[in-house]
Amino acid sequence: MTISGTNAVVVQRGDYKVPSYQISEIALDLRLDPENTEVSACLHFQCTATAPVTELHLDGESLELLSLQRDGRTLAEHEYRLTDAGLVLLNPPESFVLESRVRIHPAANSTLSGLYHAGGQFLTQCEAEGFRRITYTLDRPDCLARFTVTLHAPQKNCPVLLANGNCMATGDEEDGWHWARWEDPYPKPAYLFAMVAGDLAVVRDQYRTASGRDVVLEIYVAERDTGACVQAMDSLKRAMHWDEEVYGREYDLDRYMIVATDSFNMGAMENKGLNIFNAKYVLASPETATDNDYQGIESVIAHEYFHNWTGNRVTLRDWFQLSLKEGLTVFRDQEFSADQNSRGVQRIDDVRRLRAAQFPEDAGPLAHPVRPDAYSEINNFYTATVYEKGAELVRMIHTLLGKAQFRQGMDLYFQRHDGQAVTIEDFVAAMEDANQRDLSGFRRWYGQAGTPILRATGSYDPARHSYTLTLRQETPATPGQPVKEPVPIPVRMALLNTQGQRVPLNGTDRESILLLEQTEQSWTFDNLPDPVIPSLLRGFSAPVRLESPLDDDARSFLASHDDDPFNRWESIQDLAVKALLATVADASLASLPSALRHAVAATLGDAQIDPAFRAELLSLPSEDYIGEQMPVIAVEAVHHARDSLMRTIGMQFVPEWMGLYHDLAATYQRDGLSIGRRRLRNLALSYLIAGDHEGHEGMALYARQQYAQADNMTDRLAAFQLLVQHRHHDAEDILLDFYRRWHEYPLLIDKWFAIQAATPRPETLRQVEHLLVHPAFDWRVPNRVRAVLGGFAANPTVFHAADGSGYAFYAEQLRRLDDLNPQTAARLATPLSRWQRYDAPRQQAMGEALKMLAGKPKLSRDLAEVIQRSHP
């Protein structure tokens, strides 16, 4: 696609060069003013190159240079040059001190990258390349410096002044200003720098490390939110303890600070000693947050804490290594959550997320390896592939080596690389060297994009009493990688007899990990007097698409007998997908096939199953997931098929659902069992409402009652969502009521917006247009924009409306957003990249939407790259 006026530089992984200078110290002095902030920086440079350097390029963006001195002398014009990308020092000496003064404009900074002023606070966001928007510097992760930061601000608006490390001194100034000086003893790359100034209340606690050091824990929030930090603080302490227990890693500063803000592009940021969080991942009370919100807080708090070792103490050589910290840290937070809650349910949720976001990415034009080869805007590579698939690769190493060996590899990794900026290769090498293992084949996973297809066939030989399993792999081509090599795939497996017991596999083990390294390999298991049913890819032991050899009866059997929770769930899902695809192909087949009916009945009838897991088993696959299984996604037919299966299951099991709904009623508690019970009960309600005959509103009465009387937000919101999405006659009143009750809680108003935008009704487009001019809508707040636009794009029948109205509307909004916040605009644009998956008229309409965006004046580099790669 031709894009007007872009000359984006493409950065290639192979072009990496060690920096010719290092900066040992950075002293910053900021006079904070929303309109005009002055930043003085003093940087100590040392040459590390052997040959003389004639030009030293410093990064700088949107900076107004006020003065520039080297070793105390103002630089003459022939000694430097200003460019679009920063500042070039000409013939610099071997070592020197550079002092610069620049002016920046925090209130006008709507990109939320660099230093910005939002909601009355000053905040920074420097990953990946935000620090260059604060001062001229070597803004690259392999340049580690010791930071000293002095903040000046008016005492009244900004009583709290924070930066990384330790607070060394504070004082008052004239005109009601004050200052604070912070020092971080650990050298760090600029992307981990942070400062915060504002009127914040603090919730304080303490943690004693395994070696007996006391750490002060602080969470900074608005005064009225101090009661909503219990889950965040508790999760932090549990995460600190877990990292000591499982990895032997302690926290290394005396103070750990977390700041919550409503204005943030991502989930949270692991700045050294001073994490900045999207408020969504900090604030929760039973009345204002759902069980899922609590779960999200636990995992993101842990994720950022774990970065202190995997990311901060050991950091990245360059941005192509992003998964070195993100994949590894996601793996760590997933394992933490699995240890805190139910391992089986956690795994199901993780795989669901991988399949919802990463599989489609890997199958479309934006596919890239976990370690990408090129980028034009690094912000576009904070993807499900780098994060979630990256975590799966670490998990496979863990599976292949074993728990104790993996830990030895981690120990060696930290021992070798503490304080360094390293590569994915260094990580894999540590795993190998600590265990004398060869992972050379495994490295292909990092460089090869695309989701492998794993085809399994098996046969039982009654004469030989043996079972032979054949596995084949194939990875479809992806952009720039037409030919794929086989990758080593660990397939955890067992064979079940007709009683559902695992049988010994050529020895005493009843579970085994087969390693498929070639395109095709076979395994034979002997001494099997009776036929067996294979349970393959247990725990989802590799990020592949499994084409299973099982027929419906075998699946139904596994759905109630497999002792691997993931595979048990997967078996029901497979049955449901199959039934749904049959209905999609022929709507008159809308029925409940007997294998699926048996599986549902068995699950409904088995009160022994943990309620959270039972809820997973009984949840139908999403429309997106069903669509993913089709060559061309039939948007409407998928929607109707799923609706009708919900209705059928709802109707056929009314007494069971009703029983669950009544039996599981309870006063609110926050333990795991209660959470599972709420989940199952709300699922029952959704089936009851789906199964209600047209026009008859008996079940909606339950929802209305639940909405009005719930003693917690999980139940209230579940009922609210059902009433709004089914458009019950008083949905309008309920929307108004919700708004009136919760308008002072931004996170709940986000949900209020999102649920409306996700309503599968023809009139939704018009309503979303109204939402965009609602007084509570704010283009500058990403959470709000994502609620409406993200909710809309996740609404299959409305976003993909056959007349293309959804796409045209959406592109129009992205065009507007791009001027304010390119990073968020580019991220929201990715659903348009999936155009090849739809029918010809939709392809055409999505192409036009992309073309319209491509022609936008002042198109950001972020959005330009997404469009370019989406539609080359």
Q: Contact residues for ligand PHE (CB under 6 A)?
A: 125, 127, 265-266, 268-270, 303-304, 307, 326, 382
Tell me whether residue 268 or residue 713 sits nearer to ligand PHE (CB atom): 268
**Order of strands, edge to edge, in the sheet holding 114-118?**
114-118, 121-125, 195-198, 160-163
Nearest to 138 by CA among 30, 49, 8: 49
In b/e form, how buried is each residue of 386-400, taking b as 16+ CB within 10 angstroms?
bbbbbbbbbbbbbbb
Give me the helices (H) in 484-525, please.
none
How far is CA 139 from its chain centroid? 25
Nearest distance in Å: CB 558, ligand PHE:
36
Rounded Cα–Cα distance for residues 686 and 329 (Å): 35
| Residue 679: contacted member of Zn ion, ligand PHE, none (CB under 5 to 8 Å, by partner type) | none
Question: Which among Zn ion, ligand PHE, none contacts residue 616 (Cβ within 5 to 8 A by kind)?
Answer: none
Using CB positions, name the residue nearest to ligand PHE: 266
Residue 142 interacting partner from ligand PHE, Zn ion, none (CB closer than 5 to 8 Å by kind): none
Which runs of consecutive H residues, i.e. helices, occur in 653-730?
A: 654-663, 672-691, 698-709, 713-725
As given in the structure block, the two tokens for residue 9 are 């530089």
Q: What is the CA radius of gyration of the chain?
A: 28
The listed partner (ligand PHE, Zn ion, none) that binds 382, CB under 5 to 8 Å by sort, is ligand PHE
Q: Which secondary-structure segment (H or E) carries 806?
A: helix 805-820
Least separation in angstroms between residue 364's CB and ligand PHE is 22
Nearest to 616 by CA among 359, 342, 356: 342
Backbone angles phi, psi at 138, to 5 degrees: -90, 95
Binding partner at 818 among Zn ion, ligand PHE, none, C-beta below 5 to 8 Å by kind: none
Partners of 375 in the β-ladder: 11
Is the CB of 307 or the CB of 815 nearer to ligand PHE?
A: 307
The item of Zn ion, ligand PHE, none sharing an interface with residue 258, based on CB under 5 to 8 Å by kind, is none
Q: Which is nearer to Zn ion, 304 or 432 (CB)?
A: 304
What's the closest the beta carbon of residue 681 comes to ligand PHE, in angstroms?
33
What does the block give as tokens for 463? 């004469």
Active site residues: 304
843 by Cβ neighbours in 10 Å (0-12 / 13-18 / 19+) ranks as middle
Query: Which residue, 395 or 834, has its beta carbon nearer to Zn ion?
Result: 395
Of 59 and 326, the one with the shorter C-beta distance to Zn ion is 326
Closer Cβ to ligand PHE, 125 or 619, answer by number: 125
459: three-class secondary structure by DSSP: strand
Give the span between the Cα atoms of 410 and 427, in whole angstroms.
Answer: 8
329/813 with CB nearer Zn ion: 329
Q: How far is the CB of 824 from Zn ion (least distance, A)?
A: 18
Among Zn ion, ligand PHE, none, what does residue 870 contact (CB within 5–8 Å per kind)? Answer: none
What is d(CA 761, CA 770) in angstroms, rounded to the nearest whole number?
15
Strand intervals (E) in 463-584: 466-474, 489-496, 512-516, 520-525, 533-536, 545-547
- Distance, in Å, from the CA atom of 540 to the CA atom of 566, rounded to the nearest integer, reads 7
Alpha carbons within 13 A on the beta-carbon side of 837 = 23
Cis? peptide before 758, omega within 30° of 0:
no
Residue 693 CB contacts under 8 Å (≥ 6 apart), including other chains: none
Min dist CB 322 to ligand PHE, Å, is 9
Q: Residue 381 Cβ, how far from Zn ion at the closest point, in Å?
A: 13
Q: Could you tell me if residue 457 is left (phi over 0), alpha (psi between -120 and 50 degrees) or otherwise beta?
A: beta
Residue 800 binding partner per list ligand PHE, Zn ion, none, with a CB distance cut-off of 5 to 8 Å that depends on partner kind: none
Beta bridge partners of 44: 25, 97
To ligand PHE, the closest distance from the beta carbon of 255 in angstroms equals 20
CB closer to ligand PHE out of 391 and 600: 391
The residues that touch Zn ion, with contacts defined as CB under 5 A, are 326, 329
> Which listed option, Zn ion, ligand PHE, none, makes contact with residue 620 (CB within 5 to 8 Å by class)?
none
Can you give the three-state secondary structure of 539-589, one letter per residue? Answer: CCCCCCEEECCCCHHHHHHHHHHCCCHHHHHHHHHHHHHHHHHHHHHCHHH
> How near is the Cβ of 456 to ligand PHE at its closest, in Å?
35
We find the least distance from the C-beta atom of residue 564 to ligand PHE, in angstroms, to be 30
The H helix count followed by the E strand count for the chain is: 30, 31
> E strands along 312-373, which residues?
315-316
Q: Rounded CA gap, 589 and 702, in Å? A: 31
Q: Which partner in ligand PHE, Zn ion, none is near 125 (CB below 5 to 8 A by kind)? A: ligand PHE
Could you tell me the smallest distance in angstroms from the CB atom of residue 36 to Zn ion?
A: 33
Q: Which is nearer to ligand PHE, 127 or 362 (CB)?
A: 127
Nearer to ligand PHE by C-beta: 305 or 413?
305
